[in-house]
């Protein structure tokens, strides 16, 4: 009988608890506006792979994000609140990207920083757009990114700007006349960059004597290199990532080919030298940021020194620097809007003009694309990246 008498009280308790939960959830509508007002911290989401084939990009981007958040919090936070990082590690697996992005959004982040790759950014962007959460990629350089929606941004040097500038350098300074073009089929970044390079090569009268197609995670390139060996060319334009690039160059050296490789920032990573060893000596990689200790000043020099102190003297690359700038761009937009509501500070972010970051000066054009200059062309020398030339954007 006592059990029966206690049932109404149990039901009442459950109903009260449910009402409290619903009341708490009700404030998350309208793009998270009420949540942004009442949250104890302002959450910034990291989207990237800390493991897997693209781990270097994710790990370095996260390092930059962590440094930015540390600096913001030391200076008093944002809008009187501390900034908190919520990590979304998809393990470099595109099939996990959507679920990880959605989980970040359910954790009420004000913005997502990432992904550092074009392909996964394109998977995450529609989710962020539909939920009215700002996404700021610190690495996606391919086409068709910001077109996804007005909550989608990036702070990278675009392939559409960099590849033609590098091609001009190949033609005018290195006097290249013929190239072999290698594309990673099915990889959005590579296919997009190949198209840009094709147009630029035609413009500067460099002939593509042969093309090769590879797949991401392939390790045997003997057939493709054998085909290349039948042609005469000055160098290889490689539009994929560093893992395949390193192994491709090892196969070239194995078959006696002496030409060097040039490509985009998909080749940027110490793993290129770790995997490729002497085979990648002379390889060239363009980037929107490079450490130039002789000329670095101001916040760029401060960033380099802080990074070195935290990483046993190692130097930062583009991904760490752009990860840092991505957070700072978002933070300044939040301050300017006096709101952590993405629907409000998004407008301030789109209005960015002559913003000074560690990677240089950034302005957002009418399409929310970053306008940046110059292009740094790096060369592998003695197992390390060194600045080969700095190419101004005309």
Does this chain's domain 34-157+296-358 share its CATH topology with 160-287+377-391?
yes
pLDDT at 5 over 50: no
Tokens describing residue 68: 């930015």
- Distance separating alpha carbons of residues 56 and 151, to the nearest angstrom: 26
**pLDDT score, position 142:** 83
Task: Name the more confident of 82 and 394.
Answer: 82
What's the gap between Cα 272 and its chain centre?
17
Mean pLDDT of the chain: 90
Q: Please, which residues have CB within 8 angstroms of residue 147's CB and are 6 or more apart in sequence?
A: 367
H/E element holding 380? strand 375-381
Tokens describing residue 119: 């392909």
Helices 29-38 and 342-350: crossing angle in degrees, nearest 10, is: 100
Mean pLDDT of 173-190: 96
* Ranges 1-5, 174-178, 267-271: which has the least confidence: 1-5
pLDDT at 85 over 60: yes
- By C-alpha distance, which of 37, 43, 33, 27 is closest to 331? 43
Per-residue pLDDT band for 14 (boundaries 50, 70, 90) equals: very low
pLDDT in tens, 148-159: 999 999 999 999
pLDDT in tens, 126-173: 999 999 999 999 999 888 999 999 999 999 999 998 999 999 999 999
Domain spans, the chain = 34-157+296-358, 160-287+377-391
Mean pLDDT of 294-312: 93
Task: Name the more confident of 138 and 394.
Answer: 138
pLDDT at 30 over 70: no
CATH architecture classification, 160-287+377-391: 3-Layer(aba) Sandwich (3.40)
pLDDT at 238 over 50: yes
CATH architecture classification, 34-157+296-358: 3-Layer(aba) Sandwich (3.40)
Backbone CA torsion sign across 35, 40, 42, 48: negative
**pLDDT score, position 385:** 94
- Distance separating alpha carbons of residues 161 and 98, to the nearest angstrom: 29
197 touches 239 (CB < 8 A)? yes
**pLDDT score, position 7:** 36
pLDDT at 268 over 70: yes
- By C-alpha distance, which of 300, 354, 307, 296 is closest to 329? 354
Helical segments of 159-316, H only? 159-172, 188-203, 222-228, 242-254, 270-276, 298-310
Query: 345-379 b/e with 16+ CB inside 10 Å = b?
Result: bbebbbebeebebbbbebebeeebbbbbbbbbbbb
242 touches 270 (CB < 8 A)? no
**pLDDT score, position 392:** 84
**pLDDT score, position 38:** 53
pLDDT in tens, 246-257: 999 999 999 999
H/E element holding 344? helix 342-350
pTM reported for the whole predicted model: 0.76
Residue 175 has a CB neighbour count (10 Å cut-off) of 8
H/E element holding 17? helix 2-26
- By C-alpha distance, which of 74, 75, 79 is closest to 43? 79
């Amino acid at each position: 009988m006592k059990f029966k008498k206690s049932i109404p009280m149990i039901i009442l308790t459950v109903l009260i608890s449910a009402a409290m939960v619903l009341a708490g959830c009700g404030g998350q509508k309208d793009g998270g506006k009420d949540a942004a007002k009442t949250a104890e911290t302002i959450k910034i989401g990291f989207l990237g792979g800390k493991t897997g084939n693209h781990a270097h990009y994710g790990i370095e981007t996260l390092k930059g994000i962590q440094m930015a958040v540390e600096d913001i919090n030391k200076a008093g936070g944002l809008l009187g609140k501390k900034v908190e990082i919520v990590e979304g590690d998809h393990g470099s697996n595109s099939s996990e990207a959507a679920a990880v992005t959605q989980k970040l959004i359910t954790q009420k982040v004000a913005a997502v920083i990432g992904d550092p790759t074009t392909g996964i950014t394109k998977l995450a962007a529609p989710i962020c757009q539909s939920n009215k959460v700002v996404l700021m990629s610190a690495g996606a350089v391919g086409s068709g990114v910001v077109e996804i929606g007005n909550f989608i941004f990036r702070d990278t040097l675009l392939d559409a700007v960099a590849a033609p500038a590098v091609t001009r350098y190949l033609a005018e300074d290195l006097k290249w006349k013929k190239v072999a073009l290698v594309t990673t089929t099915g990889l959005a970044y590579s296919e997009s960059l190949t198209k840009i390079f094709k147009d630029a090569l035609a413009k500067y009268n460099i002939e593509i004597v042969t093309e090769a197609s590879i797949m991401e995670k392939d390790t045997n390139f003997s057939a493709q290199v054998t085909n290349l060996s039948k042609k005469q060319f000055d160098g290889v334009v490689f539009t994929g990532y560093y893992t395949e690039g390193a192994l491709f160059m090892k196969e070239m050296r194995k078959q006696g080919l002496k030409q060097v490789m040039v490509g985009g920032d998909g080749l940027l990573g110490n793993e290129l030298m770790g995997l490729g060893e002497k085979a990648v000596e002379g390889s060239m990689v363009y980037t929107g940021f490079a450490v130039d200790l002789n000329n670095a000043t101001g916040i760029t020099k401060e960033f380099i020194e802080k990074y070195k102190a935290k990483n046993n003297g190692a130097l930062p690359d583009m991904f760490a620097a752009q990860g840092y700038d991505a957070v700072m761009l978002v933070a300044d937009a939040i301050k300017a809007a006096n709101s952590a509501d993405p629907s409000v500070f998004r407008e301030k972010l789109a209005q960015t003009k002559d913003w000074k970051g560690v990677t240089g000066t950034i302005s957002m054009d009418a399409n929310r694309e970053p306008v940046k200059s110059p292009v740094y062309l790096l060369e592998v020398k003695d197992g390390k990246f060194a600045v080969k030339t700095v190419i101004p954007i005309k």
